[in-house]
Amino acid sequence: MGLLTALEGGYGDRGDALVVDGRRMSWEELLGAASAVARRAAGAPALAVLARPSLETVVAVVGGLLAGVPVVPLPPDSGPKERAHILRDSGATLLAAPVGETAEDVEVLPVDPAARAARPAGEPPADATAFVLYTSGTTGAPKGAVIPYGAVAADLDALAGAWRWTAEDTLVHGLPLFHVHGLVLGVLGALRTGSRLVHTGRPTPGGYAAARGSLYFGVPTVWSRLAADEDAARELASARLLVSGSAPLPVPVFERLAALTGHAPIERYGMTETLITVSTRADGERRPGSVGVPVEGVRTRLVGEDGGALPADGESVGELQVSGPTLFRGYLNRPEASAEAWTADGWFRTGDVAVIGADGFHRIVGRASVDLIKSGGYRIGAGEVEAALRDHPAVADAAVVGAPDADLGQTVVAYVIPDGPVSGDELTAFVAERLSVHKRPRRVVLVPELPRNAMGKVLKKQLLDLG
């Protein structure tokens, strides 16, 4: 049995099995269109996909997977610097994009949802690369996490068990299609379980309310906005599960959603490198502020600053480390970073700080580092934004932090030492032109100097006190 079991005919088919921003396809139509992409992509070292929320994106991703070619989702708002890095680092020689799209830096593979071809023979092995997903680190350019087919299959099967996710469900979400939550869970999860998928284009309260789904995915920003729209929220009362992830769900939002919809949200935890490793259960307790227990096949542990194991006593705080079949294989072209990601005995270092209770429930306390910002469900590396700001001729230095934000979870704030006339709006636009738009600073504070320690390191925890 392959990764995309819905395309093998075992779940039947319907004309609206896949709906993206109002456009519909059956699984059979998706298979035919994706097979046409696979025929053209076969043999390429990697297939970049312009990952807009569209049928073309789904067709292209499935086509790359059918061809056994590593799929590299490209954020549609990538600036030229970020785009060039991803294409160069991944080795992608083709960019799958809608018919009529052009590109100067890579050959375009036109994606036509109306095209049809026979499915390629054979299945990629479990250890073959399914995706190279670029994730922001704390410094430098994004790193490509190499995700094998077997890890995707293991994770989706574990989540299907945890959430009682079946072909009887209709999954609804409006999340971006270039990261784990929106693409791997939100598209391949439907193709794995056979559930109908409705992607709303954008994750608006009205779109979610009108979709009439049984299973909904969202990030805290989405749920916060939905909870503020009482009429839309009440329309979700007929759903079976509301799932939140990518960042901690504020307790007031959890409680308001539960009051308006009658459903306490499912919270889960994971990373690009590990996929989803911990979750509350469809048939279990859903505790505000907790992400539940490890999914099937995954083990977790807490480690103290001295490297020793910490007890699961509900009080001890340590770095969360994980192991299991859902983990990535390493960072593409980054042997040193890959080696640093694992302990000597084979556990992945998440860099997140957590508490585990005696009952196994996990609570994520925060980042071990202050340099990874989670804003609106996105992971944003402060170092990447700082580097973009420093490219501006009127910037002498810059430091970026995440400030608490009721809507986004965290908002990107930049503290800049100017070296000439410059405004905050100008610097925000400057970053948005070079990186993904969601990485731009929402606030820029011009300062004469940055607080530093004796070694010259910026004391980021003091920055927010500057205003």
Annotation: CATH topology of 5-202: Rossmann fold (3.40.50)
Query: In angstroms, rounded to a whole number, what is the distance separating the alpha carbons of residues 382 and 379?
Result: 10
Q: Where in the chain is the domain with CATH 2.30.38.10?
A: 266-367
Q: Mean pLDDT score of the chain, rounded to an integer?
A: 93
**Residue 425: which pLDDT band, with cuts at 50, 70 and 90?**
very high
- pLDDT for residue 27: 96
pLDDT for 378 equals 84
Q: Higher-confidence residue: 251 or 98?
A: 98
If you average pLDDT over residues 103-125, what whole number do you get?
Answer: 95
Q: What is the pLDDT of residues 56-102, one digit of tens each?
A: 999 999 999 999 999 999 999 888 999 999 999 999 999 999 999 99
The mean-pLDDT minimum among 3-7, 36-40, 93-97, 322-326 falls in 3-7
CATH topology of domain 266-367: Luciferase; domain 3 (2.30.38)
Query: What pLDDT score does 323 carry?
Result: 98
Give the CB-side neighbour count of residue 376, counting CA atoms within 13 A. Answer: 12
Q: What is the pLDDT of residues 120-157, one digit of tens each?
A: 998 899 999 999 999 875 567 899 999 999 999 999 99
User: What's the fold here for domain 372-466?
Assistant: GMP Synthetase; Chain A, domain 3 (3.30.300)
Q: What is the pLDDT of residues 303-342, one digit of tens each?
A: 987 889 999 998 888 899 999 999 999 999 999 999 999 9
Separation CA 216–CA 239 (nearest Å) = 8
The neighbouring-strand residues paired with 25 are 18
Q: 161-214: per-residue pLDDT in tens?
A: 999 999 999 999 999 999 899 999 999 999 999 999 999 999 999 999 999 999
pLDDT digits (tens, 9 = 90+) for 351-370: 988 899 999 999 887 676 67
Strand (E) or helix (H) holding 241 = strand 241-244
CA atoms within 13 A on the CB side of 10: 14
pLDDT at 1: 55
Stretch(es) of the chain classified as CATH 3.40.50.12780? 5-202
Distance (Å, whole) CA 323 – CA 298: 6
| pTM passes above 0.75 | yes
Which residues of the chain are in CATH 3.30.300.30 domains? Answer: 372-466
Q: Tell me what the mean pLDDT of segment 266-275 comes to.
A: 96
